[in-house]
Amino acid sequence: MHNKKISRLLIANRGEIACRIIRTARQLGIKTIAVFSEADADALHVQQADESYCIGPAAATQSYLNIDALIEAAQQTRADAVHPGYGFLSENAAFAQALADNNIIFIGPSAEAIALMGDKRRAKTAMIEAGIPTLAGYSGDNQNLDHLVQQANTMGFPIMVKAAAGGGGRGMRLVTHADQLSAAINSARSEAQNAFGNGELLLERALTKPRHVEVQIFADQLGNTVYLGERDCSIQRRHQKVVEEAPAPGIDEKTRIALGSAALLAAQSCNYVGAGTVEFLLDSDGRFYFLEMNTRLQVEHPVTEAVFGVDLIAWQIAVAEGKPLPKTQTELTPNGHALEVRLYAENPSQNFLPQTGKVARWQSHLQPYTRIDHMLFDGYLVSNWYDPMLAKIIAWGETREQALAHLIEQIDHTTLLGVGHNLGYLRTIVDHPAFRAEQVHTGFLAEHGLNELFQPQEINQALVAASLLDFLASNHNPTIFTALSHLSHAQQKQWQINDCIFNCRLDAKRWKDGALRLDIAKAGAQAEQFSVTHITLTETQLRFHINNEKANADYCSVVLKNRGHYFLQLGGNPFTASLVDPLATSLGSSANSQCCAPMDGMVVELLVENGTQVESGDTLLILEAMKMEMPIKAQESGFVRFACAQGEQVKQGFQLASIKPSHKEAS
């Protein structure tokens, strides 16, 4: 048992959670030590900490996942304790044990508890023994493909194939038909092996439209255990949480107490100490089943803090120092409702492809009853090395309806320019009538057409904004009114937005009547005419009416590759508008014969031999970026020639391979 005052705290993490831990530690008078990779030398957590220590190159395996480097950093900086945050080594039993062996406090549970709950197969067995409901399935030692297929066919479909180690949705596959099974098992095993170094799997019966509900538990070294209500995390895409809230809407008090009691039983079954989360699937009939236990603080912990008025980081530190829990179960009374959304560097209109780039502007004018945990500042470089989560937006209200209103207001007052993100997508979800009506379940996004491609509705507004801003800049006029009054002829230019080309014709002959005309057409399509009025411009915003509807664009302009670019945000959705060079070759002239990197990343594997014949749609290689694996497919049939090697780091736009059509090879 630890019984020591912590005065120097090393944070074995990065990003918004590192900044979050620093904030509480500073309030407690504790000196903080940031660790950073070479890619994170200028990161916000490094700027905010009292001290910092470089632990290695950009690759996480050589820095944030390097146990020896972190132990050395803790020793060199004389740290009393290490806080692992979440992700990285937060649920690594070997890391917890290494710290214990070096007499450094690990702010988390014991290595034994981490090892037990981190292995889903062992954890499920332990829960069955403790009398906690679990889903029917297979969690045995025989991991042979044929045996797993046999077990699954015996269970019947649908089933869930799950990695026995790790979490975060990786190594999980939903299988609805027998002919999908072998491929799903092999794919899940490969992803689990790459992500966690353990390819073992388990099979579970899949529920139809369940809810994902989790309970926050806390235990001290004196044997006291409490739970701090539950959170609903049902809004998920690819098994990754998107929206979280507390308390879970629509749950009766009997179910709420039963969930809390089961969570405490799970914690007590492994002599748990510290913060943990017990996750359940809740069926439509009100029955719930143990899913897993996360032996760390959760990304969504702020909604629990908002509802219970506590600081869970401060609780973690107190427990690590050997103090009793700050509150007993009877003293923990929830108040109001809270929601959280996760701001990611991703492009919802391109199947949520991770995005990289330099932040041109970050503004988050904090609204009442809201909070933002983030890692952003103007000039920050979002790289391909780490997880794409950039920030969390949290809002509280006396009721769920009030919390939703505060959340949407905060989203509307948050601007991120220079890198693609999902802010508008998040706004669409939380403002959806079904979400407002509490009709949440794990298939919510798929049911409402929000699971794969999300097309922002403000693209015409973005083209208007880009045309107006470009016209003003090219005429060097101090005001848009002066510029437009001197427009003697229509201006026509081509813009590229979200990989689409648009022809825009700006005509101000009617400006004296208080309106101008803008014709917009996708290349090769018929133009649509828009009337633009009520134009006002500031250094950061352009406001106007388009066909009598109000529009507001946050903007900034840059020059990239000798072309004018405008970073725009409308309705929370980001747009990059670029003037098309009329002398450049047609964008489609060589697209069918080249496969280019959609973003910065690393070539993980070449799947075909160089020079072999492939068919259109065949996967040529796997590119990894921001902890995601992306298959790069052939755009036509022919003979492949690779321009990259396995393990190579490539930049966005880099030509990975070319395809020579079969008829050309034959000639």
State the Cα angle at 436 between 433 and 441, rounded to 5°.
95
Considering only CA atoms, give the Rg of the chain: 27
The amino acid that residue 340 corresponds to is E
CA of 441: how far to CAs of 243, 274, 482, in Å? 11, 29, 54
The one-character DSSP state at 2 is -
Q: Is the dihedral of CA 194, 197, 200, 204 positive or negative?
A: negative
* Alpha carbons 430 and 292: distance in angstroms, whole number: 26
Phi, psi of 305 (to 5 degrees): -60, -40
CB 293 within 8 A of CB 123: yes
**Omega prior to 433 cis, within 30 of 0:** no
Choice among 20, 211, 231, 296 that is catalytic: 296
Active site residue 296: yes
Closest to 123 (Cα-Cα) out of 87, 90, 91, 155:
91
* Alpha carbons 347 and 655: distance in angstroms, whole number: 21
Among the residues of 534-606, which ranges form H helices? none
Q: Hey, which residues does 358 pair with through a beta bridge?
A: 381
* Alpha carbons 601 and 622: distance in angstroms, whole number: 10
Q: Hey, which residues does 275 pair with through a beta bridge?
A: 218
Angle formed by the axes of helices 145-155 and 181-196, nearest 10°: 120
Phi, psi of 165 (to 5 degrees): -110, 160
H/E segment holding residue 149: helix 145-155
Closest to 440 (Cα-Cα) out of 253, 237, 235, 236:
235
* Alpha carbons 364 and 357: distance in angstroms, whole number: 19
CB 265 within 8 A of CB 257: no
Q: Supply the residues annotated as catalytic.
A: 296
